[in-house]
Amino acid sequence: MALTLKSGFSFDYDNLFGEGKVTQADLDSYKDALKAAHEAMKVMRETGFIKAHLSKDGNPEKVYFSKLPYITEENGKLNLNSPASIQRLHDFTERIRNNVDAVVSLGIGGSFLGNKVLFDIFCGEFWNTWTVEKRNGLPKVYFSGQNIDPRRTGDIINHLKAMAAQKDGKYKVMLICISKSGGTLDTMSNFMVMLDALKKDEKIDVEVVAVTDPNMEKKTLLKQLAVDNGWESFAVPDGVGGRFTVFCEVGLSTAAVIGMDIEKFLQGAQDMDKACQNEDIFQNPAMLNAALKFIASEKYGRNIEVMMPYGDYLKSLSEWYIQLLAESLGKQFDKDGKEVCYGRTPLVAVGTTDMHSQTQQHQEGTLDKVVQFIKVEKWADDLVIPNVFPDTKKLADISGVTMSEALEVARQSNADALKSNKRFNACFTLPELNEYHLGELMYLLAMSVAYEGELSNVDAFNQPGVEAYKRIMGPKLQELKASK
């Protein structure tokens, strides 16, 4: 059984639904709850309202991520995607082309994870080793600010200095600092260390771009710094939590740096949003995905979700999903203040790599998991396994097929084995690994957690658990500074 869209994108739920799995009777028992969840999504799209949702400051807050796939003039009033903002991103691409040698994107959480997905999928591991011509004049890209790690930060600084020493003339480095407030410890500590070190190198010119709250009447720390120093700025809009920001200027600024097709990415998300407006659960990918996994967890104890894409460069997509699921649904209290301690534990896996490690646990361990596969139907660059050793039968037997064919045989074998031992699993299929289909998938996953928030009656758009450690950490840092 599979739900397949006109684009060819498919959600195969055959190993998750039916006899011995989540049943039609299970879905029927949640008929009213599913209808209410769907109505809540309609209201969210139209007004931004989500029942009981408050900002981290305890004030009512609208939720606008569902508006991001649409490029409209109206969105410009909310600092979301408008014709003007998209054109500005295109202008940004052309401004840095053949003008900036290296970009360092500094961010944490959604300001890092979504951006890393875009880079990994559309640039790959060796982008920074390519010639400028092969990169079409676009810069090398590095990521920092996602940890307070002195060794790695120092390594990036020393690497950039070494690159500068090899160049005739100045080496141009752009630091893109992403923080809604400018007070994000992890990001800002890296930013300040890096900015200070690079400015002291006479071979390096440093430019800063701030991605922050655009409010000019009540400027945040980073916005004030941007104004005072004349830095170019992009927006972290209100009503869009960090884990959803890959669809706004937070993620799209990285898309612009690498020359990605922004409109196609948003078009994929938009078409998925339209599919998710269908009232029929078997024609609505997000509602179906959310319902099956919610019931699998609540009724059948499958409270761990393994996100297992098949492809090395898809690992960061799984890591992005970890934040999305954990922050959205891992909640101690429901919307009525009742203690529920809800949420599946997400795990990262990659096929075929983790078939040689984690799969033992998936196959024979505790019956507490749903394994979610992601596969690519047609790879842009495929390779045939050659018959290099014809006299070695075991090796000769695997020759003559493409690597993608072998990859899919491995995935299907894993799925079949799991099914044979009552292990729930499902598969998302992307016809190709391009901007459009990535937009479809990432938006589907975002909308799925919104649906599940309604089914479980938890606020899928706050993260009070993240704020808890921050309240403790601030005073501890002050004590540390005072002791020096």
Q: What is the DSSP string of 391-442?
A: T-HHHHTTTTSBHHHHHHHHHHHHHHHHHHTT-EEEEEEEEESSHHHHHHHH
**Contact of 228 with 251, CB cutoff 8 Å:** no
* Residue 397 forms part of a structural domain: yes
pLDDT (tens digit, 0 to 9) for every residue of the chain, 484 residues total?
A: 999 999 999 999 999 999 999 999 999 999 999 999 999 999 999 999 999 998 878 889 999 999 999 999 999 999 999 999 999 999 999 999 999 999 999 999 999 999 999 999 999 999 999 999 999 999 999 999 999 999 999 999 999 999 999 999 999 999 999 999 888 999 999 999 999 999 999 999 999 999 999 999 999 999 999 999 999 999 999 999 999 999 999 999 999 999 999 999 999 999 999 999 999 999 999 999 999 999 999 999 999 999 999 999 999 999 999 999 999 999 999 999 999 999 999 999 999 999 999 999 999 999 999 999 999 999 999 999 999 999 999 999 999 999 999 999 999 999 999 999 999 999 999 999 999 999 999 999 999 999 999 999 999 999 888 777 778 877 887 887 788 7
* Residue 41 forms part of a structural domain: yes
Question: Does residue 30 sit in the same domain as residue 92?
Answer: no
Using alpha carbons only, what angle is made at residue 233 by residues 466 and 181, rounded to the nearest 5 degrees? 25
Q: Among all chains, which residue has been given the structure tokens 């019931």?
A: 295
Question: Does residue 213 sit in the same domain as residue 324?
Answer: no
* CA–CA dist 315, 318 (Å, integer): 5
Question: Does residue 231 sit in the same domain as residue 317?
Answer: no
* Residue 273 forms part of a structural domain: yes
**Contact of 374 with 363, CB cutoff 8 Å:** no
pLDDT at 145: 95
pLDDT at 76: 94
Burial classification of residue 300, based on how many CB atoms lie within 10 Å of its CB (0-12 exposed, 13-18 middle, 19 or more buried): middle
**Contact of 452 with 290, CB cutoff 8 Å:** yes
Instruction: Give the number of other CB atoms < 10 A from CB of residue 30.
Output: 18
Burial classification of residue 269, based on how many CB atoms lie within 10 Å of its CB (0-12 exposed, 13-18 middle, 19 or more buried): buried
Q: Write the CATH number for 115.
A: 3.40.50.10490
Question: Does residue 146 sit in the same domain as residue 273?
Answer: no
Active site residue 405: no
Q: Which residue, of 191, 221, 236, is where some domain finishes? A: 236
Active site residue 356: yes
Question: Does residue 269 sit in the same domain as residue 313?
Answer: yes
Count how many domains the chain has: 2
Question: Does residue 292 sit in the same domain as residue 440?
Answer: yes
Question: Does residue 460 sit in the same domain as residue 354?
Answer: yes
Instruction: Give the number of other CB atoms < 10 A from CB of residue 331.
Output: 23
Q: How far is CA 163 from the centre of its chain?
A: 30
Token pair for residue 257?
């740096």
Assign residue 382 a region (left: φ > 0; alpha: ψ between -120 and 50; beta: otherwise).
beta
Question: Does residue 20 sit in the same domain as residue 110?
Answer: no
* CA–CA dist 484, 376 (Å, integer): 54
* Residue 476 forms part of a structural domain: no
Active-site pick, 61, 319, 327, 454: 327
Question: Does residue 323 sit in the same domain as residue 382?
Answer: yes
Q: How many CA atoms lie within 13 A of 283 on its CB side?
A: 7
Question: Does residue 145 sit in the same domain as residue 271?
Answer: no
Question: Does residue 232 sit in the same domain as residue 272?
Answer: no
Active-site pick, 56, 200, 274, 470: 470
Show the domain range for 324: 2-49+265-466
pLDDT at 472: 82
Strand runs labelled E in 42-155 = 102-106, 140-144
* Residue 58 forms part of a structural domain: no
**Contact of 176 with 103, CB cutoff 8 Å:** yes
pLDDT at 266: 98
* Residue 483 forms part of a structural domain: no
pLDDT at 474: 78
- Hey, what amino acid is at 156? I
Pairing of strands 369-378, 10-12: unpaired
Q: Three-state DSSP class for 348?
A: strand
* Residue 257 forms part of a structural domain: no
Active site residue 470: yes
**Contact of 61 with 239, CB cutoff 8 Å:** yes
To the question of pTM greater than 0.85 for the whole model, the response is: yes
Question: Does residue 270 sit in the same domain as residue 221?
Answer: no
Which of 266, 240, 145, 160 is CA-nearest to residue 204?
160
**Contact of 79 with 258, CB cutoff 8 Å:** no
In angstroms, what CA-CA distances link 392 with 78, 383, 399, 410?
Answer: 64, 21, 11, 21
* Residue 248 forms part of a structural domain: no
DSSP 8-state code for residue 60: B
The DSSP string of 259-291 is T--HHHHHHHHHHHHHHTT-SSGGG-HHHHHHH
Active-site pick, 6, 77, 356, 481: 356
Instruction: Using the CB atoms, write b or e for 90-114: b if 16+ within 10 Å.
Output: eebbeebbeebbbbbbbbbbbbbbb
* CA–CA dist 236, 245 (Å, integer): 8
